[in-house]
Structure 1
């Protein structure tokens, strides 16, 4: 009981900013039962540096991945900050999850390996865009991306305005 009370006191002493930065953002991998449409929900999200994003597959009929657009992942174009660490989950079966902690500010685009051509992509913005320093350069790298993927990304402006963008 004493340990629990100490943890409670420590949690209460955290500032609101620190608590918010520690929240886990959940992105659901979903799809129609017949497999005719698959998506990430939300498709766009704004987070603070140090936050964790957890993808969870809630699609009972499909396996999915979350894979950063990065040359280390099948030679894909770089669409995350240069200083950021790339990620690639294994295929996640229903109810499995995968998490990444985002520490570098910037725009992070990612996709599902088997469903990229169906437009199953997402965008995470960490921090606040800067008008200088090449903040947006990775987002313009579209070589080799399917049109369905390029058309599916929410804009940076929409994510900044809404904080969370759901696919319609």
Structure 2
């Protein structure tokens, strides 16, 4: 029987294979690092905002030697959170990644994906992925902000326009 993390990784490989049938293209992989300061007073995803094509695999890698982190989609199936990913997308939770560990997920549904680190969300460890572009078939805009998230957490998400203009936002702008 496969462990939970092995199952998720194996499932991601199946999705990646099915997501690009007959194209003959190599699968695109983008790395998102989980980082923190030496004393742990600040933690973040880098990049915090990323624009990718449908079918791109994201590899979350914990490069923070002092903390465990998660990459967790906002979704009712995971801790009963408000959905902040496209309706056709699969929810994901990496589980806790120790320093040096990684997790992969392939995103195929066009739209905006918001995610967070379970133990560090209130420290602003959140990120946003934009898959495709507005106007693409099936595109879903970000979910309107609600009372589900504190203003400090919402401030951590770069705007969709900024992500599309720059393709990659390495860190959150100073508030």
- TM bracket (short chain): 0.7 to 0.9
Q: 1:159 aligns with which of 157, 160, 163?
A: 163
Runs of 5+ consecutive residues of structure 2 not aligned to the other structure: 1-22
- Residue 136 (structure 1) shift: 1.6
Does the Cα contact within 8 Å between 1:78 and 1:141 map onto a contact in 2?
no
Q: 1:55 aligns with which of 55, 60, 68?
A: 60
**TM-score, scaled to structure 1:** 0.84
- CA RMSD in angstroms comes to 1.9
Q: Which has the larger radius of gyration?
A: 1
Which secondary structure does the structure 2 equivalent of 1:157 belong to? helix
**Partner Cα separation in structure 1 for residue 146 and residue 124 of structure 2:** 14
* Partner residue in 2 for 1:43: 48
Which secondary structure does the structure 2 equivalent of 1:152 belong to? coil
Higher helix share: 1
**Partner Cα separation in structure 2 for residue 86 and residue 133 of structure 1:** 17
**TM-score, scaled to structure 2:** 0.80
